[in-house]
Amino acid sequence: MDLKGKNAVVTGASRGIGLQIAKDLAQKGVNVAIVDIGPAEVAQAAVEAVSAYGVTAHSYSCDVSKGESVKDAVAAIRKDFGTVELLVNNAGITRDNLMSFMKEEDFEAVIAVNLKGVFNMTKAISGLMIRQKLGRIVNISSVSGLMGNAGQVNYAASKAGVVGLTKSVARELASRGITCNAVAPGFIETAMTKDLDNSPLVATIPLGHMGQVEDVAQAVVFLLSSDYITGEVLRVDGGIAM
């Protein structure tokens, strides 16, 4: 599918992987709705970075874990953009700890944002896609959801849930011309992983180094461009989960 002129919603797009996805889409001529719950000035900087490519970009403050917040954001997006053809569910948080010491509220918070947030946004945006019988959805999972990771029972559970949700949505919406896929990053250099550069975990990566946000963004754009891939989970992990 030619992405030029299409409209995309990218959650968690003010920084890191989400911002790089938004910029890569803008380079393809895609207009971008930046959805994030972070500081307004950070969101505005993201809008300026994306719009520098000559496309339309707006930011929307939204807590994806709250259905009403998502509903309000999508209504505003529809008013500004008319419709949406592309959705990238990237928003996510971590609250790492060993299971024995993990607080119940930290487990629930991660599930709410990382899994329920994907459900909320996909449900809201897919309604627009169904009407036009066209849509591409990519959800950001993680290799932690495929292989588990000590100290991340909440995060791994949420990302494994994203895989199951992705495959179910792919089956439900295929007849409407909508694809749904997931990207599962490994250790990617972001603010969230800045302390892992010299970690023993890096030595377990077959390629021997952490990935870049560009690696994930390229995979997302590839899946958004495809007409005949759905229900797939594409690992971007340097081989750690193979």
User: What is each CA distance from 70 to 24, 148, 154, in whole angstroms?
Assistant: 24, 29, 23
Q: How far is CA 225 from the centre of its chain?
A: 16
User: What is each CA distance from 75 to 14, 71, 128, in whole angstroms?
Assistant: 20, 6, 11
Q: How far is CA 155 from the centre of its chain?
A: 14
Q: What are phi and psi of 184, to 5 degrees?
A: -115, 95
Cα-Cα-Cα-Cα dihedral of 119, 224, 43, 141, to 10°? 50
Q: Can you say which residues are annotated as belonging to the binding site for NADP(+)?
A: 12-15, 90, 155-159, 188
Which positions are annotated as active-site residues?
155
The tokens for 80 are 């500004």
Pairing of strands 135-140, 31-36: unpaired
Q: Can you say which residues are annotated as belonging to the binding site?
A: 12-15, 90, 155-159, 188
